[in-house]
Amino acid sequence: MSQAFLNRPVKRITAIDLGTNSFHAVIVDIYPDGGFYVVDKLKEMVLLAEKGVTDRLSDAAMERGLSALRKIKTLSDHQKSERVLAYATSAIRESENGGQFIQRVIDEIGIKINAIPGRVEAELIGLAVQHGIQMPEPGEGPALIMDVGGGSVEFLIADKQKFYFLTSKKLGVARMHATVIDHDPITAGEINTLQQHYRESLADLAESFAMNRASLLIGSSGTMENIALMIAYRNKRSPSLSLNELEFSSKEFYDFYEFAITLDKKKRSKLKGIDEKRIALLPAGLVLLKYILDTFAIKQIKISSQALREGIILRYIRRELKEIRTSEWIEDPRKRSVLELVHKCDWHEDHSLHVASLALSIFDAVKDKLELTEQDRELLTFAAYMHDIGYHISHRKHHKHALYIIRNSDLMGFRECEIEIMANVARYHRRSTPKMRHPYYKRLDKESKNRVKKLSAILRVADGLDRSHYQNVRDVKIDVKETGVELYLSTESDPHLEIWGADRKKALFEEVMGMDLNIHAR
C-alpha cells in the first residue's frame, strides 16, 4: 500500500456527546492506521436539567437541545462530514419524553441519536482516557477515573490495558444540586447529606478499590476540568495550551475547597477560570471530589480532556473500520498522538525518521556530558518526528510554523511543559538559535530553556546530516574526547552536502558541549 494512501484520511465523521449540561461535538479525520485528527469542534451549553434531572424534558430544554444540534449539523455539513454519531446520556435516556426528543431530532435535523446505557457510557469514557492520557502500566497499580457529568458520574478503575471496574451512578452535579442543595452558600447539613448519599451509592466502588488500590485520580469532563483550571489560576500556573494532563495535588484541592465552599453564587462568579454555566453547580462538584479524595486517600489528580465523544470515535474505529486499519494499534498515547499529527501534516516521513535516528545516536553519545535523561530522549525523538511539519503551511519559516502547529494540536499524554519543549526544539532545528527575544522561548522556566538548548543543538546537527533528504548517511560513530567531539560518517555516496549541512548548524552544539565538533567521512 502506498505511503500517499497512508497519509490520506479515509473518512471524516462527527461525534456528538449529548450530555445533561452541554452538547459536545467533534469532527475528525480517520486514517488507515486507526488514528484520528480533530478537524473542528463545537460545544453548546443546553442545561437540559435546569431544574434537575426529572421525568420529563421541559419544552424550553427541548428547544435549546434542538437549537444546539442545528448548529452542530450545520458545522458538520460545512466540514463535509460523512457520518454523524450521536450518543445521549442520562438526561435524555431517563426522560419519559426522551424518545419524543430523539424523534424530533430525526425529523427536523436528520440526526439519529443513540441513547446509551450508563455502563456503555463508562466504557467509552474509559477508552478515551486510555487513548489520551499517560496511564499506569500493568503491575504499577491502576488509576481511578471519574467523569463528572450533570446527570451521572462514571467511575472506572483501570490501567493502560485493562478495566478492573466500571460503573455509572446517578450522582451528576445538576441532579445533586437540584435534589439536595437549597441554600446559597451550601450548608454543613447539605454537605453531610451529600456525603452520606455518596457513601451509600459508592459501596461497590469502595469494594473494588480495596482490591485494586489506586494512588492517582484522573478526572474528565467539564466539572473536573473547571475545578482544575480554577486551582491552576489560584496557584499561578494556568495552562495556555491544553487542560490535558494538567495535574494538581489533594492539598491544593483542599486549600481551594476550604476557600470556595463558603462562597455564595455572586462570589463564586468572580473566581478566575470558572465557567459561567457551572457557577450554581460548583458546590456539588466540590463536595463529590472531596469525598472521593477523603475516602480513597488519593494524593494526586490529573485531567483528561478526552471523554465520551472521543470514546465514540475510538469505538467506531475499532469495531466498524477494521478493514481499513493497516498497522498495529499503537498503545502509547504520546507516540500515537504525535503520529496522528504528522500524518495529518503530510510529513516528510523518511527524512524525519532518519533525522530522529541520527539524533538519538548523537544523544546516546553525549547524554552523560549534557546530563540528559530518558525523558529528554523521548522528547527529542518526537521533536525530530515533527520538526518539518511546518511545511504543511508553507516552506518559508516552516520552523516557526512547526512551533505553532505543535503548540496548538492538543497532543495527548503530554504535560504542557513537554509540549512547549518539543515545540521549541522543533522550531530551532534551523535558522536562529534560542534567544531571549523570542517570546515562546522567553516564557519557559530556566530548566526548560536549558533542555531546549541541549536538545535543539543535537537536532540541528542531525538535520544537517540529512540535508539532501535522501538518507545518504547510513551510520554515524561518535567519539567524545577531552579535546572535542569527533563524528564519523558512513555514507552511500559523496558526503560533502551532509558535512556542509551539519557544519553550518553545529555552533549551538559546540556551545552546549563546551568543545569543538569535528565531522569526518569514513
Instruction: Output the domain CATH number for residue 99.
Output: 3.30.420.40
211 or 470, higher pLDDT: 211
Supply the mean pLDDT for the chain.
Answer: 92
Domain boundary among 297, 324, 351: 324
Please state the rounded mean pLDDT for residues 434-453: 97
Outline where 186-320 has alpha helix (H).
188-201, 203-211, 222-234, 250-260, 265-268, 282-296, 308-320
Range of the domain at 152: 134-305
Are both 296 and 351 inside the same structural domain?
no
Name the pLDDT band for 1 (thresholds 50, 70, 90).
very low
Let me know whether 67 and 143 are in one domain.
no
Contacts of 99 (CB under 8 A, 6+ apart): none
Residue 333, pLDDT score: 87
pLDDT of 495-511, one tens digit each?
888 999 999 999 999 99
261 and 279 co-located in one domain:
yes
Question: What is the percentage of the chain residues whose pLDDT exceeds 90?
Answer: 78
360 found inside a domain: yes
Count structural domains, the chain.
3
Position 403 confidence tier, pLDDT thresholds 50, 70, 90? very high
CATH number for the domain harbouring residue 478: 1.10.3210.10
d(C-alpha 307, C-alpha 65), whole Å: 20
pLDDT digits (tens, 9 = 90+) for 182-232: 999 999 999 999 999 999 999 999 999 999 999 999 999 999 999 999 999
Interatomic CA distance for residues 28 and 121, integer angstroms: 20
Are residues 365 and 512 located together in one domain of the fold? Answer: yes
| Residues 165 and 262 grouped into a single domain | yes
Distance CA 19, CA 91 (A): 7
Instruction: Judge residue 96's burial from the number of C-beta atoms within 10 Å of its C-beta, 0-12 exposed, 13-18 middle, 19 or more buried.
Output: exposed
Residue 403 within any structural domain of the chain? yes
The pLDDT confidence band at residue 52, using thresholds 50, 70 and 90, is: low
Residues 366 and 494 placed together within one structural domain of the fold: yes
Same domain, 149 and 294: yes
> CA 340, CA 486: separation in Å to the nearest integer?
36
Cell numbers for 65, please give them: 437541545
As a whole number of Å, the end-to-end CA separation of the chain is: 36
pLDDT digit string, tens, across residues 101-146: 999 999 999 998 988 888 999 999 999 999 999 999 999 999 999 9
Q: In what order do the strands lie in the sheet with 516-521?
A: 473-480, 484-491, 516-521
pLDDT in tens, 282-341: 999 999 999 999 999 999 999 999 999 999 999 998 876 654 444 445 778 899 899 989
Q: Are 155 and 221 within 8 A, CB to CB?
A: no
